[in-house]
Structure 1
Amino acid sequence: MSIDYQFYLAPLPYTSVMTSIDFRTREDREHVVQGEIGNSGLTACLVKNPAPDEFSREELQFSPTCQLILSPDLGNYEQSMSALIATINQLVPMAKASALYMNNELLLLDKLDNQTTLYTSDKDWWDEHIENIRFPHSQR
């Protein structure tokens, strides 16, 4: 089974995202950069300047400037998840708006009012990782 995390960010340009996290690229196409976050086994696909119609999520009340798709290596889960949490800790404070989904379920939404909300619909996920979150947040 594959787990994918979709991380929507605004107004961060993709170059800021790449330089803020240890994003080692393997392939660069016109609008997509593929690679890995550090040596963690966390693979990443960064979509640059996506078209607004690619985002049909109604809870997103902002227009993302980039989308980061993260896929942990299930064989190296602990290291991959540490890299994923470090990526969240780095990018959420930088972005004016962000949203994080796990397999299409909303986990985090940071709206334009600088209030980050952690959605506890998947409470087990947050119970496992909440102690490593390093930015102010509320839970819903």
Structure 2
Amino acid sequence: MDDLLVERVLRAVELVPPGRVVSYGDLADLVGIGPRQVGSIMRHWGGDVTWWRVVSHAGDLGGGLLTRARPHWDAEGIAVKPNGLGCRIADYRADLALLAADYERAVADLPGDPARDQRRRARHTPARG
């Protein structure tokens, strides 16, 4: 895995405010990679960041992570939804526009920007039809 990409994802995770969550897809869109890549980075390198603020698109934490996340969620005021699998992401999702602005500043010292490059390619790629 590219060290720069790992750094971008981990910096993005650290920007999620207490009491808020983002999905793997939210982070993927922000950084310019796929959600599975975000998951892989979190699995291998996310132990020292606020990993409990990253959930599935449904607000769930899999693989026994909810048990470990509960003390953090309780302290931050994140309630577990009735099915016991995670939180209601609609209630706790971070402000993605604010997160994007914070992210731009947080990675300004890093070379390249995969998300910017992806947007640029999309704008300059002719439509196929």
Same fold (TM over 0.5): no
* TM-score normalized with structure 2 length: 0.29
* TM-score normalized with structure 1 length: 0.28
Instruction: Select the structure that is richer in helix.
Output: 2
Instruction: Select the structure that is richer in strand.
Output: 1
Instruction: Work out which of the two has the higher radius of gyration on C-alpha atoms and give 1 or 2.
Output: 2
